[in-house]
Amino acid sequence: MDDVSRFKPQKLDSIKDDLLLVQGRYATDVAVTEAGHAFILANGMLTRQSLAQPSAEMRSEFEQGLSCITLSPDQSLLYAGHSTLNVIWSMKLSKDGLLSEKQPFYLVEGDLRGIGGVSDLFVDTNGWLYVATALGIQVCDQAGRVNFIIPTPKPAHDLCFGGKDLSELFIACGDTIYKRPTKAKGVVSGQQAPIKPPAPKL
């Protein structure tokens, strides 16, 4: 593709059916439920919009400083990581898209230099939360406890499950992508019906 055609503007209609465009400044993450609630992270703040009623006014749900969001596999909890704290909040999500019961439910291990922050979040069908941090991928159980840490070649700023059966863990480190096979299966909430995970061992 040469430079001229590359820079030719395209219309929204050319976007494929399975892509959602989030327009606006500093939109950094989005989580969409099967019920059609889109949670959008922009400028470190969390807002909500209904896909069914796009004219509805947006609501600010959270303070600034957030870095990433994702949903639990049953789409009943919204998780939000912070850009400088080793904390991930968990919020209960009602059918009408309201959030409640906000708690700093996950406490991940800090970088050994004392620098905190969570780069990205992803869940698997067991309800385990995969947290990209400078220390590695920290994996938390449903009860909010870091059970193990998978070191990464370099600090990962993004992660997702992909590949066959959504069972490969992909990470982005700078300009490089790595993947690793797992026995887990990732969940893409915006495209899947809610999945109820098993209860944690307490």
Partner 1 sequence: MVFQDGVIYQAPVVFDNLIAKKDIPPLIGLFIKPGVVPAANENALPRFNRSYEYDSVTDTYSQFLIEEFLPAIEAKQGVKLSTDPNHAAISGNSSGGICAFMAAWHRPDRFHRVFTGVGTYVGIHGADPLPVLVRKFEPKPLRVFLQSGTGDNNLYCGDWWMANQMMERSLTWAGYDVNHAWGEGGHNQKHASQIFPDVLRWLWRDWQTNIHVKANPKGESKWKGYEVVGDGAWLKVPLTEPFSEGLQLETDSTGKVLLLELAPQESPLGPADAEAETRFSSITPEGSFKSGEFFWGNWNSRVYPVRTANPEHGRRKSVQTSKARFDQR
Which two tokens mark 177?
Answer: 């992508």
The residue among 101 and 148 lying less far from partner 1, judged by its C-beta, is: 148
User: Which residue in 2, 52, 199, 201 binds partner 1 (CB under 8 A)?
Assistant: 52
Does 179 interact with partner 1 (rule: CB under 8 A)? Answer: yes
Side-by-side strand order, sheet with 87-93? 66-71, 77-82, 87-93, 99-107
Our finding on whether 149 is near partner 1 (CB under 8 A) is yes
* 191's tokens: 């495209």
Question: Closer CB to partner 1, residue 101 or residue 126?
Answer: 126
Binding residues for partner 1 restricted to 150-169, rule: CB under 8 A: 150-153, 157-166, 168-169
**By C-beta, is 45 or 101 nearer to partner 1?**
45
Site mask for partner 1 (CB under 8 A), range 11-40, x = bound:
-x-xx-xxxxxxxxxxxx-x-x-xxx-x-x
Site for partner 1, residues 87 to 146, rule: CB under 8 A: 109, 112-114, 128, 136, 138-139, 146
10 binds partner 1 (CB under 8 A): yes
Minimum CB distance to partner 1 smaller for 101 or for 180: 180
The token duo for 202 is: 């307490």
Least separation, in Å, of the C-beta of 107 and partner 1? Answer: 12
Return the number of the residue (98 or 177) whose C-beta is nearest partner 1: 177
Q: How far is the CB of 82 from partner 1 (least distance, A)?
A: 18
Sorted by sequence, the CB contacts under 8 Å of residue 140 that are 6+ apart come out as: 88, 106, 108, 128, 129, 131, 146, 147
| Count of all residues that appear for the chain in the document | 202
For residues 43-79, one letter each, b for 16 or more C-beta atoms within 10 angstroms of the residue's C-beta and e for the rest, the string is eeebbbbeeeeeeeeeeebbeeebbbbbbbbbbebbb
Task: Give min distance, CB of 60 to partner 1, in A.
Answer: 7
Contact 118, 88 (CB under 8 A): yes
CA-only gyration radius of the chain, Å: 17
Nearer to partner 1, 64 or 101 (CB): 64
